[in-house]
Structure formats: C-alpha cells, structure tokens
Amino acid sequence: MADIVAPAARPANSHFSSGPCSKRPGWSLEALSDAPLGRSHRAKVGKEKLKLAIDLTREILDVPADYRIGIVPASDTGAVEMALWSLLGERGVDMLSWESFGAGWVTDVVKQLKLADVRKFNADYGLLPDLAAVDFDRDVVFTWNGTTSGVRVPNADFIPADRKGLTICDATSAAFAQDLDFAKLDVTTFSWQKVLGGEGGHGVIILSPRAVERLTTYVPAWPLPKIFRMTSGGKLIEGIFVGETINTPSMLCVEDYIDALKWAKSIGGLEALIARADANAKVIFDFIAANEWIANLAVDDATRSNTSVCVKIVDPQVTALDADAQAAFAKGIASILEKQGVAFDIGAYRDAPAGLRIWAGATIETADMAALMPWLSFAYETQKASLAKAAA
C-alpha cells in the first residue's frame, strides 16, 4: 500500500468550530483594551458601550427603525426562551424543526409550557418540513439556519405579509451571513459567538412592532422569571432596548462584540459578510462535487447552509458499516485533522448523523478553507487505510 502523503500547505487559522466560532482576521486581546472593566454596566460608560453595540447591530443588519433590539442573558438560548415564554399561548402555534436545536424548542413548548394547541412539523436531517402546510394565522417558531444539519430556509417567501400570528425565528447561525427579511420576522434571535466570532454568554433579541403589541396586550398564564420579563405594568421596559440590560453583562464580551461589528463595517457590512461566507462555503461545495466519498447533508442545494456546512461520508464501504462504526469512522477523520493541527472541533453534532460540520462563516479566510480541503482527503484516506487494515 502506497504511503499517504500529508499536504504541504496548512491553514493559517485552524479554527473551524461551529460555536464559539473563529475570531475575526487580525484579532488580538489588544482590540479589547477600551473595555470598561471594573466599571458598572449601569454607569454612563457601560450604557454607552451597550447602546453602541445595539446601534451597530441595527446598522449592519439593516434592522428597521421601529424594531427594538435588546441584549439579553444566556446566549441565543436565552433569547429564544424569552420569546417562547413571553409571547406564546395567545393562539395556537406551529413548531418547525429539522435539527437538534429546533427540536429542543418543540420540547420546551410541548413539555415545559405544556401548550395544548401545538402542531409539529418535523423533518429528518438534511430536509426541510413542508413549509406550504404552515398556518400563519397561528404563531410559528422556526430556525432560519439549522446549525446542526446545515439546512436553511432559502428565503422568507413562505411567510405571508398579512399573517395574523407572530413568527419567532432562531437566526443564530444566519445573522450576519444570510439575508434576513425582517418584514417577515416578528422575533429574531441570535448570539454574537457565531458569524462574528464573539465571546459566548449573551444573546440578542429583535422585536417587530407586532411582537411589542403582543407583549403589552397579552399576559401568559404562567409566571415569568425575571430574566424573561420585557414588560412591567403592561408597558414595554424600554431600557432593555437602549442598553439597560436585565442582568449584569460582561463588558469584556460586549467590547469584543463591538470590535467584531466595527470590523464588519470596515469590510463593507452585511453584503461583504455574506460574500465571505458564500465564498468559504463554495470551496467546500466544489470539493464535494469533485470527490465521490463525501456529500452535503442538505439534500436540496437551495437549502445548503453557507455557515454550518454539514457533510456525510458516502463511500459504499463506509455506509455498509453499522451506525456505530460509521460514527467512529467520521470521528476518526476529525481526530486526525485535530492531531495534525489543521482543523479543530469539526465533528458532527452529537445528535446529528455521522459526519463532519465545518464552519464557513465570515470570520474564516477563504484561503484557509481552501488549504483545509486536501487535508480532508488525507484524513479520509488515512482512516480508510485503517479500516482496511482492521478488516485484513
């Protein structure tokens, strides 16, 4: 058997994790030197930093002027839970899921909130549910981009403008890399640890006027924890949406987010961010097209994610193995890449089918993505040789 030769070139940045994601190009701790550490977030300097983060978010994402933007606790999870617990129950709800996080929201609504009028639209990994069957006279909860399946909605055309219900969208792997149609979204959530590579722990929630109206006219039947409360006395707590956070934020993390937003603005804003993610994803798509042993988990090309690209091993000798052996084969590829120092944390999510998940968001340089591709072949061929040796 011929020796498997390692590629000569290596990615300059080997951080392809899907969250927390790679820092922006050129980032260093010195970029955070203006963080008001040891100061209160309620002091003038703290409020100004938080307000700046909100204002830059609005500018780069082109959020409508009459939409509220708030920084909230507990990452995207906290932002989604805040929306679910505060807004649902006024009418029936359609829950859409096609990967693990969407499935988690279904569980919370059915088993924790215990709503009676819930319709579930589930699809296997790689597919979308039947969007045409969704009733937008009801509230609708969905993820824009399935982080663990690599499947996204291609656009918001399936959402009617004259809907009666609210749309609650988990956009955590889509914001800053995909074109969100805010006119069709009443609640949009994300964490800045994804496309902008910010530090974890904080979420962002964006509310349309329709969502604000629901908040101020509907009282849920269950008690709300303090960190979920966006109203007081039937009125919106406006301070949340100008930087007066519900709990104490990390001003170091806020400074890091501001740094990432300023970088995004400096390279051309949302259009440039989307172009960078598209270019990175194309490198992987082209590699898949040229190699028969690998395929995109997304069945329909129109739904392929340009951020969390999920792939599966389709070599017949591998797919003939049992599920545990297939998972071990894929994990072996990821392990080889990590030991070689060329790609960290790219194994498939624990609930997803066996394979790899490669982050292609805007903080990744396309040259690094291109340098990674030969290493995928190297790791696959090495793992295949190990499989043949074990069978001999």
Q: Is the pTM of this model over 0.85?
A: yes
User: How many residues in total does the chain contain?
Assistant: 392
Peptide bond before residue 20 is cis, with ω within 30 degrees of 0 = yes
Instruction: Tell me if the domain spanning 38-265 has CATH number 3.90.550.10.
Output: no
List the domain boundaries for the chain.
Answer: 38-265, 269-391
Q: Which tokens sit at 283? A: 């490198």
Residue in 251, 228, 230 with CA at minimum distance from that of residue 239: 230
As a whole number of angstroms, the distance between CA 119 and CA 88 comes to: 13
- The fold of the 269-391 domain, in CATH, is Aspartate Aminotransferase, domain 1 (3.90.1150)
Q: CB–CB of 336/382 below 8 Å?
A: yes
As a whole number of angstroms, the distance between CA 281 and CA 279 comes to: 6
Residue 111 CB: number of other CB atoms within 10 A? 9
Q: Is 154 exposed, middle or buried (0-12, 13-18, 19+ CB in 10 A)?
A: middle
As a whole number of angstroms, the distance between CA 134 and CA 188 comes to: 18
Instruction: Encode the chain (392 residues) as per-residue pLDDT tens digits.
Output: 468 999 999 999 999 999 999 999 999 999 999 999 999 999 999 999 999 999 999 999 999 999 999 999 999 999 999 999 999 999 999 999 999 999 999 999 999 999 999 999 999 999 999 999 999 999 999 999 999 999 999 999 999 999 999 999 999 999 999 999 999 999 999 999 999 999 999 999 999 999 999 999 999 999 999 999 999 999 999 999 999 999 999 999 999 999 999 999 999 999 999 999 999 999 999 999 999 999 999 999 999 999 999 999 999 999 999 999 999 999 999 999 999 999 999 999 999 999 999 999 999 999 999 999 999 999 999 999 999 998 87
